Amino acid sequence: MKTALLEELQQARAKKRQVVLATNLTSGNQKLLYPFENEESSDLAEAARNALQFDKPATFESDDGPVFLNIFNPPLRLFVIGAVHIAQALVPMAAGADYEVTVIDPRRSFGSSFRFPNVTLDNRWPDEALEELDPDRRTAIVTLTHDAKLDDPALQHALKSDAFYIGALGSGRTHAKRQQRLLKAGFTAEDFTRIHGPIGLDIGAKSPAEIAISIMAEITAVLRGKAAP
């Protein structure tokens, strides 16, 4: 491997870019691929996208012999809007599944380190916080406040991002009202389908911990391509 290429790889990782190191196992020739940063439709680009999406390195059979695709994904992140009871159950589960978790809630009595010890808390308004946190393709965003004043700005920001998962807590009725508000705000019906609501897989969850499980299960299913994004 060329030292310059390794330096470029490290820089790409520092910038949280999704990058693949492609190595021809016969010649040792290597290059870096950024398959999500272009529309290239070659078999190699597709294989690289798959490897990144499923967090699974792969060997691609090219005309010049096997090419090993090693993946370098930025960390998974979860932004939770609403430092509510369900968040208290969801945060440790997500951390256990290797997500870097940030809980966003401007209401300091909710988003306090007393209620969320050892958790990254952000007391700004959700849209302001998300603006800086800059959700990417490895980010899931979940709104849990039940309060349109807090949830909607977060969802609007989320819909403009590449976040792989967006979910909103609330009943079917609440979700229908939410749709009307977002359409009024200029989003399309297709945009709205990106929001999973009512949030979580339907496992009959009742308690906060059970609801957290259903949310984490849905995020996982989308991440791993088992459910629609």
Partner 1 sequence: MTESASILTDDDILTQALTWKKDGRSVALATVINTWGSAPRPAGSQLAIDETGQMVGSVSGGCVEGAVIQEALEIIKSGEPKTLEFGVSNDEAWEVGLACGGKINVFVEKLD
Binding site for partner 1 (CB under 8 A): 1-3, 6-7, 9-10, 13, 23, 25, 28, 56-59, 68, 70-72
Q: Which two tokens stand for residue 107?
A: 């209401």
Is the CB of 27 or the CB of 171 nearer to partner 1? 27
Is the CB of 68 or the CB of 125 nearer to partner 1? 68
Coil, helix or strand at residue 175? helix
Q: Cβ of residue 71: shortest distance to partner 1, in angstroms?
A: 6
Number of H helices and E strands in the chain, helices first, is 8, 10
Is the CB of 6 or the CB of 183 nearer to partner 1? 6
CA–CA separation, 188 and 205 (whole Å): 30
Q: Cβ of residue 33: shortest distance to partner 1, in angstroms?
A: 15
Q: Cβ of residue 70: shortest distance to partner 1, in angstroms?
A: 5
The answer to whether 97 and 165 have CB atoms below 8 angstroms apart is no
Is the CB of 6 or the CB of 185 nearer to partner 1? 6
Is the CB of 72 or the CB of 125 nearer to partner 1? 72
Q: Which two tokens stand for residue 2?
A: 């060329």
CA–CA separation, 123 and 27 (whole Å): 53
Is the CB of 25 or the CB of 176 nearer to partner 1? 25
Residue ranges with strand state E in the chain: 19-24, 30-33, 58-62, 65-72, 76-81, 99-104, 120-122, 139-143, 165-168, 195-196
Residue ranges with strand state E in 63-186: 65-72, 76-81, 99-104, 120-122, 139-143, 165-168
